[in-house]
Structure 1
Amino acid sequence: MNQWLLYGVLALLPLAALSGFLMGRKSRKGKQGNSLSSNYIKGLNYLLNEQPDKAVDTFIDLLKVDTDTVETHLALGNLFRKRGEVDRAIRLHQNLIARPQLSSKDRNTALFQLGLDYNAVGMYDRSEKLFNELLADPVHKNESLVQLLNIHQLTRDWDDAAKIAEQLQSSIGVEQTKPIAHFYCELASQKRQEGDIKAALANVKKALSINSDSVRASLLQGDIHLQQKNYKQAIKSYQRILQQDIAFLPEALPSISEAYHHTKDRTGYKNFLDKSLELGAGVSVLVELSKIIQHDKDDRAAAELIGGFLQDRPSLKGLQRLIALHIEHAQDSAKPSLQLLDDIVEKLIARKPRYACHNCGFETKAIYWQCPSCKEWSSVKPIKGIEGE
């Protein structure tokens, strides 16, 4: 007997013992004893002959469904699902539900477990149907709403996800405005890809009405206006980020610069950057402002701006910009060293993540509105400090 089969046989021994115990109880109550005994022996034979699959089915059949064994069936089903034997869990729960003598309470519990089984193998259409049925049951309503919300997110059914999240918020009183706003942003992105700009803007507006602090909605609205060449409207949308979460401003900077360029409002752009720094914007805004100072004045003025900032807020990105400003004016003997230092800083910046999840600590170089690790919405934020903004 190989090692894994031995483990399987050992795992089945408690089930065999339980079946034997229940068989003994039943045999004392009636004339079923001989039949049950023969099936019990058959199960043991399967076990001894290294046929654990058949043994499991035989022992499960011995567990007649009544008030004494429902919890045993449910526990076994849960165990099978956790061990990855979902087909057995499904068969067991289906068998349980089919019993006419099952109480309404136990049936609903079995239905919920069957829904979890279907989820485990990606049969979301079947699990969705079961969880929708259980919404009428006060005991399982909230758990079913949670499962339905997860299903709609996995299947990217954002319209239904928003509706279920609203029901969940009303039912359990837990704030769902952030994820709901993201669901409408997802819908807006879909409509934009389909070329339905009117519907895209309507969904963005809906997102902002639900969560006025949605940076994603402002970015998306600004991008749509920029695409439509509504530059002033785009700027207005992007500027909202200053009050929503200024840490995300670097995400919009290239687009803001483009919008101001098309409006030929260079002074307005500089004033916007000045205001952003006053409100606590990070080094990306400083670097952008230094380029304007460099153009309007000279390299020295730009270097002084960067140097003053770095004294209070050290930053690799700021240091790289300062090195670049000094290389052109350095003596020939110093240029190789400065260039080497610039290369080292650039490699350090390239290796470091730009974002981190405040919920689970997941780090990434790309922005995610939903953390890929913990699945939390709006938890991934730009990293601040010497290695970030």
Structure 2
Amino acid sequence: MEQWLLYGVLALLPLAAYSGYLVGRKQLKGKQGGSLSSNYIKGLNYLLNEQPDKAVDTFIDLLKVDTDTVETHLALGNLFRKRGEVDRAIRLHQNLIARPQLSSSDRNTALYQLGLDYNAVGMYDRSEKLFKELLEDPAHKNDSLVQLLNIHQLTRDWDDAAKIAETLQSSMGVEQSKPISHFYCELADQKRREGDNKAALSNLKKALNINPDSVRASLLQGRIHLRQNQYKQAIKAYQRILQQDIAFLPEALPDISQAYSEVKDYSGYKQFLDKSLEMGAGVSVLVELSKIIQKEKGDKAAAILIGEFLQERPSLKGLQRLIALHIEHAQDSAKPSLQLLDDIVEKLISRKPRYECENCGFHTKAIYWQCPSCKEWSSVKPIKGIEGE
């Protein structure tokens, strides 16, 4: 507690000194320095006596709002918000905005800061109203657009998020195609859960028009077609993943297998897997192909396929598949050792994350289209290498 108070004192001293300078200058101009000077000293005494709350109140009283002290108010409000004293920041900014002599520019700056205060305590309806008002001010338009975009994402208002992101892209020239496509995917997923597949597919079409490399849109589109027994359309949607980002293909493999099976195109599925491996697909595709080879040519041919792959691209998942192929044909004396090795590999695989954020390094076993840590869209990717694909 004492350490916290010390930090508070140190944080407020520069602001107190600046406030004193402004007050002193006013005193010289107006020759009314007695009471102000004594209040300023009183504020410093509060700081030195580790009473920051009383010191802050004293300095607020000292700051007469005019063109010379607006910046000090804003700095003090920002300090309150960073310290978690958002109620004080709100009170200060509201008091500032209420002053009739405040210039339009300073009022808008105070409004923006008040919007940040409301955001900090989750009062998004109030902050949204302020930021929308500030869209008319060129000096605050872009910052307000960024804040509105954050609000709509937090409140999962994906339709408005897409509109704001499009405005932000045209206003600032900042590329927003990836997040916009995800907003339409979010809308599509909502409609899918509500049973409105037509609206879902319409939103996915928008997502792909904005970002043709949207793996998420292809996955959702394929899933919807599959549930509607539209197997050829599902296959077509899933095939796009090869060009979009082949690392995500394992997410679709069970559905792809089902779609080819429903249309009885078994050779087509095998060709798809072969092509995928040629294009750099990971070990999950290899394991799937080995199951087909096992049925057609036996365990030995499947084991040879896995072994050749592992020589170039070592993989725990591939090793586990190879062990499984050998257990059935191993001598009784060797089976316990192979089973133990299989158990060890299984534990290693189960403990390892499957995905990693390329932006912040966040690890996870589940797929996230927006990183929970850094909030970046499309940054979480499947892990490659011996512990991944």
What range describes the TM-score normalised by the shorter chain of this pair?
Answer: over 0.9
More off after superposition, 174-183 vs 65-74: 65-74
* Structure 2 partner of 1:301: 301
The Cα of 1:2 is off from its aligned counterpart by 5.1
1:206-226 superposed Cα distances (whole Å, 9 cap, x missing partner): 111111111000000011111
AA paired with 1:145? L
Unaligned runs of 5+ in 1: none
The Cα of 1:42 is off from its aligned counterpart by 5.9
1:89-108 superposed Cα distances (whole Å, 9 cap, x missing partner): 11111111111211122111
2:30 counterpart of 1:30: yes
Quickly say closer, same or farther: Cα 1:41–1:200, change in 2 above 3 A.
Answer: same
The Cα of 1:40 is off from its aligned counterpart by 4.3
The Cα of 1:371 is off from its aligned counterpart by 0.8
| Contact 1:15–1:59 (Cα < 8 Å) also in 2 | no
More off after superposition, 191-200 vs 23-32: 23-32
Quickly say closer, same or farther: Cα 1:172–1:13, change in 2 above 3 A.
Answer: closer
The Cα of 1:27 is off from its aligned counterpart by 3.0
CA distance in 1, matches of 2:355, 2:50: 52
The Cα of 1:170 is off from its aligned counterpart by 0.5
2:131 counterpart of 1:131: yes
Pairwise CA RMSD of aligned residues? 2.0
* Structure 1 partner of 2:114: 114
Unaligned runs of 5+ in 2: none
* Structure 2 partner of 1:233: 233
Quickly say closer, same or farther: Cα 1:384–1:60, change in 2 above 3 A.
Answer: same
CA distance in 1, matches of 2:162, 2:175: 13
* Structure 1 partner of 2:290: 290
* Structure 1 partner of 2:100: 100
Amino-acid identity (%): 87
The Cα of 1:200 is off from its aligned counterpart by 0.7
AA paired with 1:224? I
* Structure 1 partner of 2:56: 56
More off after superposition, 184-193 vs 131-140: 131-140
Quickly say closer, same or farther: Cα 1:380–1:47, change in 2 above 3 A.
Answer: closer
CA distance in 2, matches of 1:12, 1:271: 70
Structure 1 length normalisation: TM-score?
A: 0.94
More off after superposition, 111-120 vs 158-167: 111-120
More off after superposition, 321-330 vs 92-101: 92-101
* Structure 2 partner of 1:142: 142
1:121-170 superposed Cα distances (whole Å, 9 cap, x missing partner): 11111111111111111111111111111111111000000001101111
| Contact 2:22–2:68 (Cα < 8 Å) also in 1 | no
CA distance in 1, matches of 2:240, 2:308: 27
2:207 counterpart of 1:207: yes
The Cα of 1:75 is off from its aligned counterpart by 1.3
The Cα of 1:16 is off from its aligned counterpart by 4.4
1:256-301 superposed Cα distances (whole Å, 9 cap, x missing partner): 1111222222222111111111211111011001111111221111
Structure 1 residue runs of 4+, over 2 Å off? 1-55
Give the match's secondary structure for 1:28. Answer: helix
| Contact 2:231–2:259 (Cα < 8 Å) also in 1 | yes
Give the match's secondary structure for 1:65. Answer: coil
CA distance in 1, matches of 2:365, 2:115: 36
Equivalenced residues, count: 389
